[in-house]
Structure 1
Amino acid sequence: MSAFTESALLKKLSELNPSQQSIQTLSLWLIHHRKHHTVIVQTWQRELQNVPEPKKLTFMYLANDVIQNSKKKGPEYGKEFSNVLPKVFGHIGETCSSDKLLGSLGRILNIWQERGVYDPKAIADYRARMHRETSAATAANTAGNGSDTAAGHKHNHNSSSSSSGNKAERSEKREKRKHEERHMKSKRSRGSHHQSASVETPAAEAENGHTPPYLPLGEPPEPEELIKALTSIENSASSDALVRERIAKLPPEISEISCITKLEDKDKAKVLAKQVNEAVDLLNEYNARLSAEMEERTKLAAMLRDFQAEQKELLAQAEQRLDEHKKKLAKMLGLQKEIHDHLSNLPDLTQLPDVTGGLAPLPSAGDLFNTLH
Structure 2
Amino acid sequence: MSAFSESALLKKLGELNSSQQSIQTLSLWLIHHRKHHAIIVKTWIKELQVAPSEGKKLTFMYLANDVIQNSKKKGPEYGKEYALYLPKVFTHIAETCSSDKLFGSLGRILNIWEERGVYDSKQIKEWRARLNKEVKDGGTASSSAKASEHSSNGSNGDVVKEKSEKREKRKHEDRKEKVKRSRSTAATEEKSNAGQNGESEHLSPYLPLGEPPEPEELIKALVNIENSASSDAVVRERIANLPPEISEIGCLNKLEDKDAAKALAKQVNEAVQLLNEYNIRLASEMEERTKLASMLRDFQAEQKELLAQAETRLVEYKQKLSRMVAVQKEIRDHLSNLPDLTQLPDVTGGLAPLPSAGDLFNIH
Q: For this structure pair, what is the TM-score category when the shorter chain's length is used for normalisation? A: 0.7 to 0.9
CA RMSD of aligned residues (A): 3.8
112-121 vs 302-311, which moves further: 112-121
Aligned-residue offset at 1:24: 3.0
Q: Which residue of 2 aligns with 1:121?
A: 126
2: CA distance between counterparts of 1:6 and 1:129?
38
13-22 vs 54-63, which moves further: 13-22
2: CA distance between counterparts of 1:72 and 1:337?
45
Residue by residue over 1:311-338, the C-alpha shift from the partner in whole angstroms, topping out at 9 and shown as x without a partner, is: 1111111111111111111111111111
2: CA distance between counterparts of 1:360 and 1:43?
73
Aligned-pair identity in percent equals: 63
- For the pair 1:16 / 2:21, whether they are aligned, the reply is no
Aligned-residue offset at 1:349: 1.1
1: CA distance between counterparts of 2:208 and 2:18?
13
Q: Which residue of 2 aligns with 1:293?
A: 285
**1:1-373 aligned within 5 A:** 2=1, 5-7=4-6, 10=10, 12-28=12-28, 30=30, 37-53=37-53, 54-69=55-70, 76-93=77-94, 96-97=96-97, 99-100=98-99, 103-113=101-111, 116=114, 117=119, 118-128=123-133, 164=175, 166-178=177-189, 180-181=191-192, 201=205, 214-359=206-351
TM-score w.r.t. structure 2 length?
0.73
SS at match of 2:133: helix
Equivalent pair of 2:4/2:33 in contact (CA under 8 Å): no
2: CA distance between counterparts of 1:15 and 1:161?
35
Residue by residue over 1:184-211, the C-alpha shift from the partner in whole angstroms, topping out at 9 and shown as x without a partner, is: 7899559xxxx9xxx864xxxxxxxxxx
Q: Structure 1: which 5+ runs fail to align?
A: 136-152, 202-213, 362-373
1: CA distance between counterparts of 2:71 and 2:194?
22
SS at match of 2:181: helix
**Which letter maps to 2:52?**
P
Equivalent pair of 1:17/1:23 in contact (CA under 8 Å): yes
2: CA distance between counterparts of 1:28 and 1:182?
34
2: CA distance between counterparts of 1:182 and 1:35?
44
Residues 269 and 38 (structure 1), Cα distance of their counterparts in 2 relative to 1, 3 Å cut? farther
Equivalent pair of 1:254/1:276 in contact (CA under 8 Å): yes
Residue by residue over 1:145-200, the C-alpha shift from the partner in whole angstroms, topping out at 9 and shown as x without a partner, is: xxxxxxxx9xx99996786455333213213324555787899559xxxx9xxx86
1: CA distance between counterparts of 2:280 and 2:255?
32
Equivalent pair of 2:130/2:136 in contact (CA under 8 Å): no
Q: Structure 2: which 5+ runs fail to align?
A: 141-163, 354-364
Equivalent pair of 1:64/1:108 in contact (CA under 8 Å): no
275-284 vs 172-181, which moves further: 172-181
SS at match of 1:18: coil
Residues 185 and 44 (structure 1), Cα distance of their counterparts in 2 relative to 1, 3 Å cut? farther
2: CA distance between counterparts of 1:240 and 1:304?
24
SS at match of 1:215: coil
Equivalent pair of 2:45/2:85 in contact (CA under 8 Å): yes
2: CA distance between counterparts of 1:158 and 1:3?
50
Residue by residue over 1:87-131, the C-alpha shift from the partner in whole angstroms, topping out at 9 and shown as x without a partner, is: 22333455x45x44x631343125414762543233112331899
**Which letter maps to 1:343?**
L
Residues 123 and 161 (structure 1), Cα distance of their counterparts in 2 relative to 1, 3 Å cut? closer
1: CA distance between counterparts of 2:252 and 2:182?
63
Q: Which residue of 2 aligns with 1:366?
A: none
Q: Which residue of 1 aligns with 2:152?
A: none
